[in-house]
A and B are shown apart, each in its own frame.
Chain A
Amino acid sequence: MCPQTVRNEAPSDDKRWKIINATMRRNGDDSHALIETLHSVQETFGYLDDVALSYVAKSLRTPLSRVYGVATFYHFFTLKPQGEHSCVVCTGTACHIKGAQALLSAIKGSFGVAPGETTADNKLSVISARCIGSCGLAPAVVIDGNVMGNLSPQTLVARVEREIG
């Protein structure tokens, strides 16, 4: 018999698993590719669920416990599905001084969500971050990947309302 790498069967016939497989293959299907692979899953599926984590662990021949440890360590990874839109509020030192807490309470007041939560209609996820590197714009917020600065609670709420329609 000739040696041959047998790929574990993907959890479903969702085409997106091909992207994950490609990432793993590019990294030699080795356990050191764990973070890279989790990034790929996060970007492709939007979050990491138990099925995906088990598949990654099996494919990279690495303990599931390690996969969970890494997935919960980095704030970039989320284990729950995210809303359609995301609003990352910076609570780093500069933004904290410039009123990040007021932004968070305004969001809580208008949309009823605290950091780490998603609205019931799945429209908006709110996340808090520690310094996003835009201290000059404090208080800064990232809405759907776009950095916005010098925000007052009112402008932020108006902005988010416009985004989520």
Chain B
Amino acid sequence: MTRITLTIDGETVQADEGTSLLEVARKAGADIPTLCHNEQLKPHGACRLCTVEVVKGKRTRLVASCAYPVEEGLVVRTSTVEIEKHRKLLVEMLYPTALHLAKRYGITKSRFEAERGDCNLCGLCVNYCREVAHRNVLYFEGRGIDRKVAFVPGKAQECSSCGACFELCSGGFVVTNHGTVSLNERI
């Protein structure tokens, strides 16, 4: 496997080709917040909390580190004033879900009206159900502001022998399908 050399927060580090920036940076000691990331799952790229700054040649941009594979010669900064401002805004928009992050950023209220207080559509439950549990009970229904986690009709019983997604959810373990079923009740 090809080794790749890059700079993270001023330090030169080496990593295998194909690894994500998030993984490498965390190994190098960076403290990057994430919400939709889970080592067992493919990158989902929904929350953007893992945003870092990458400098490639003359260009500087902000990228989602969980979905960005390491590149030779990349110069990465994992925390800048701009990044922290960005993260704080995202956490405020997630409020009142993801309260562990709200605490970290000192957020106790939000200027934005919460669309819903439970699910923040991080996708951990849906992706886990598909990629790891291989049960395909959950899916995202609808799109845009109507998007919600839903059960495939008639398949919800399968959850009684799994339930792994409860542990993953940061939003209070509530998943509703047409506003009726909730994982909370453990079906």
Contact = CB atoms under 8 A, between A and B. Distances in A.
B153 interface: yes
Interface string B120-144: 0000000001100000111111110
By size class, the interface of chain B is 10 to 19
Contact of B130 (A50, A63, A72): A63
B25 interface: no
Contacts of A65: 129-130, 136-139, 152, 155
Contacts of A63: 130, 136
* Most B CB within 10 A of own CB, among A65, A69, A73: A65
A72 B155 contact: no
A50 B153 contact: yes
Interface in A11-56: 50
A25 to B, nearest CB: 25
B153 A66 contact: no
Nearest to A73: B143
Interface in A61-86: 63-66, 68-69, 72-73
By size class, the interface of chain A is under 10
A37 to B, nearest CB: 17
Interface in B135-166: 136-143, 150, 152-155
* Most B CB within 10 A of own CB, among A50, A66, A73: A73
| Secondary structure dominating the interface of A | helix
Contacts of B141: 68-69, 72
Contacts of B129: 65
Contact of B142 (A50, A66, A72): A72
A64 B143 contact: no
Contacts of B137: 65
Interface string B100-137: 00000000000000000000000000000110000011
Given A66-B136, A72-B143, 19 more contacts: A50-B153, A50-B154, A63-B130, A63-B136, A64-B152, A65-B129, A65-B130, A65-B137, A65-B138, A65-B139, A65-B152, A68-B141, A68-B150, A68-B152, A69-B139, A69-B140, A72-B141, A72-B150, A73-B143
Interface of B: 129-130, 136-143, 150, 152-155
26 contacts: A50-B153, A50-B154, A63-B136, A64-B136, A64-B152, A64-B155, A65-B129, A65-B130, A65-B136, A65-B137, A65-B138, A65-B139, A65-B155, A66-B139, A68-B139, A68-B141, A68-B152, A69-B139, A69-B140, A69-B141, A72-B141, A72-B142, A72-B143, A72-B150, A73-B142, A73-B143
In order of increasing CB-CB distance, the 4 nearest A-B pairs are A63-B136, A65-B139, A65-B136, A69-B139
